[in-house]
Amino acid sequence: MKRTLRHRFGKRIRELRQATGLSQEAFADHVGFARTYMSRIETGGANVREHEIRWMREHGN
Where residue 31 sits, what CATH number does that domain have?
A: 1.10.260.40
State the greatest distance between any 2 C-alpha atoms of the chain, in Å, as a whole number: 33
Count the domains in the chain.
1
How far, in Å, CA of 39 to CA of 28, rounded? 9
Give residue 2's pLDDT. Answer: 66
Give residue 10's pLDDT. Answer: 95
Question: Other CB atoms closer than 10 Å to residue 42's CB: what's the count?
Answer: 22
Average pLDDT along the chain, 61 residues, taken 10 residues at a time: 84 94 94 95 93 85 69
**Residues spanned by the domain of 40:** 5-59
Give residue 3's pLDDT. Answer: 77
How far, in Å, CA of 1 to CA of 53, rounded? 25
